[in-house]
């Protein structure tokens, strides 16, 4: 999803040659495969958006895969980028890196100041390791090798190319699928995990892509005035959040589902609230431009266009 969005934005610039591989073409968890890729291509900039991702169910069901695969992907790509002379790199982290009960809105300084949300701790630990890899390579090699590896922490992403798997997807694609299923099948009710009370901030993936390109092209004196050396990452959010209940209501209305919405309180809620302070990237000249209601309509259109099967 994220890689495709970055490709859509960069492909409009004629002087940029985009080198891309599908997962089937390049296994980023394989050190040998990643080294071969960098050895065979001349690369100036890397957007490291690849990751194993999923919602609460996936994070709880596959913790080993989430920590192992994400650690391997980022370690292989960042190290081989350095080894083969790539000077500029953007690493995509996640808002889940912050403590479960961090003060809201969450500033970058909150990193490592408290306990993580247990349901997605393996994924969060891997993402923290990735941003610390970038920070560490900069500390050791920025002056001697001229590298500049930056990290952005986006809010919950959604949009074209999302994963609509019935169990392993994030909350927005999961709800789109559930309410579409309920409408098509005439179901009297749709069950949503948790209480509906937690609040989340959502960012359209095309906004996130534009933010990453903006950060990549910022001059060092501007970027590092905001992203200090001991805190080399920067938040990228929409600026406001909604409750899961409000989100479910909006999606059901967009889809046209008329039944009841039931909340299954036996299922985990996750972090109570996760709104990021994006004042640093705003000060650097970027702001989100796609309102949630508009983005949800576009996401549902993408779901219909993709012809996602309801039977899995």
CB 171 within 8 A of CB 156: yes
Determine if the peptide bond prior to 105 is cis (ω within 30°).
Answer: yes
In whole angstroms, how far apart are CA 1 and each of 4, 101, 103, 121, 143?
Answer: 5, 29, 30, 22, 34
Cα–Cα distance for residue pair 54/135, rounded to 1 Å: 26
At residue 286, φ and ψ (nearest 5 deg) are -120, 140
Whether 123 is catalytic is: yes
Per annotation, catalytic residue among 57, 98, 123, 149: 123
CA nearest neighbour of 76 among 64, 88, 65, 84: 84
Cα–Cα distance for residue pair 203/157, rounded to 1 Å: 5
For residue 282, give the H/E element and its range.
Answer: helix 279-283
Active site residues: 123
């Amino acid at each position: 999803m994220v890689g495709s969005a970055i490709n859509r934005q960069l492909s409009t610039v004629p002087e940029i040659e985009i080198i891309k591989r599908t997962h089937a073409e390049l296994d980023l968890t394989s050190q040998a495969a990643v080294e071969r890729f960098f050895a065979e291509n001349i690369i100036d900039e890397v957007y490291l958006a690849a990751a194993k991702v999923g919602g609460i169910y996936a994070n709880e069901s596959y913790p080993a895969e989430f920590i192992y695969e994400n650690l391997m992907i980022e370690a292989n790509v960042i190290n081989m980028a350095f080894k083969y002379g790539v000077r500029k790199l953007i690493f995509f982290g996640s808002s889940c890196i912050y403590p479960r009960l961090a003060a809201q809105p969450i500033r970058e300084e909150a990193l490592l100041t408290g306990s993580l949300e247990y349901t997605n701790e393996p994924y969060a630990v891997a993402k923290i390791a990735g941003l610390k890899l970038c920070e560490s390579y900069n500390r050791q090699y920025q002056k001697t090798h001229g590298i500049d590896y930056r990290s952005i922490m986006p809010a919950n992403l959604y949009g074209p190319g999302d994963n609509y798997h019935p169990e392993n997807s994030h909350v927005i694609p999961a709800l789109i699928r559930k309410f579409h299923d309920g409408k098509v099948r005439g179901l009297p009710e749709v069950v949503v995990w948790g209480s509906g009370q937690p609040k989340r901030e959502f960012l359209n993936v095309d906004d996130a892509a534009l933010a990453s390109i903006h950060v990549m092209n910022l001059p060092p004196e501007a970027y590092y005035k905001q992203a200090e050396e001991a805190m080399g990452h920067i938040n990228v959010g929409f600026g406001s959040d909604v409750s899961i209940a409000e989100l479910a209501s909006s999606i059901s209305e967009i889809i046209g589902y008329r039944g009841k919405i039931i909340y299954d309180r036996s299922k985990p809620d996750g972090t109570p609230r996760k709104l990021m302070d994006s004042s640093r990237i705003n000060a650097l000249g970027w702001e989100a431009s796609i309102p949630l209601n508009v983005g949800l309509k576009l996401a549902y259109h993408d779901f219909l266009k993709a012809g996602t099967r309801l039977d899995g």
